[in-house]
Amino acid sequence: MQLTAKLVQLLPLQTGEGKNGPWKKQDIIVETDGQYPKKVCISIWGDKVNPSILVPGNTLNISFDVESREYNTKWYTDVKAWKVEAVGGQQAPFEEENMPMPPEQDSDLPF
């Protein structure tokens, strides 16, 4: 499923240590557009947490799955994002360490 919505709130980042190593989870609250806007809490896990686009006010395209499970005769539903992208001209801030390095001019390599 896919949803385009405005990020209205970031909940505290959750981290922990499991049997497969460290994990992190970011819950966000987004609000849909339209005559009757709805707020939705979406969970983002692991390396899909991108702080550069998770800025309140940004409009996001979110691809997600909905999953329900039963515990003690009660049902719980999770909305888990598997892809989050900023819409339109909203880009991540410039980060020098992510820029490719220019080729060395004084290299002894034969190519």
Q: What is the pLDDT of residue 99?
A: 47
Q: Is residue 102 part of a domain?
A: no
Contact residues for 13 (Cβ-Cβ < 8 A; gap 6+): 24, 25, 26, 49
Range of the domain at 43: 2-88
Q: What is the pLDDT of residue 45?
A: 94
Q: Is residue 105 part of a domain?
A: no
Q: What is the pLDDT of residue 39?
A: 97
Q: Is residue 59 part of a domain?
A: yes
Look up the CATH number of the domain holding residue 11: 2.40.50.140
Q: What is the pLDDT of residue 85?
A: 94
pTM exceeds 0.85 = no
Q: Is residue 104 part of a domain?
A: no
Contact residues for 56 (Cβ-Cβ < 8 A; gap 6+): 7, 8, 9, 10
Q: What is the pLDDT of residue 88?
A: 78
- Total count of domains within the chain: 1
Q: Is residue 23 part of a domain?
A: yes
Task: Tell me which DSSP letter residue 108 carries.
Answer: -
Q: Is residue 111 part of a domain?
A: no
Q: Is residue 76 part of a domain?
A: yes
Task: Tell me which DSSP letter residue 106 carries.
Answer: S
Q: What is the pLDDT of residue 97?
A: 47
Dmax (CA) for the chain in angstroms is: 70
Q: Is residue 72 part of a domain?
A: yes
Distance CA 110, CA 46 (A): 42
pLDDT digit string (tens) for the chain, length 111 residues: 999 999 999 999 999 998 999 999 999 999 999 999 999 999 999 999 999 999 999 999 999 999 999 999 999 999 999 999 999 755 544 444 444 555 555 555 554
Q: List beta partners, residue 40.
A: 30
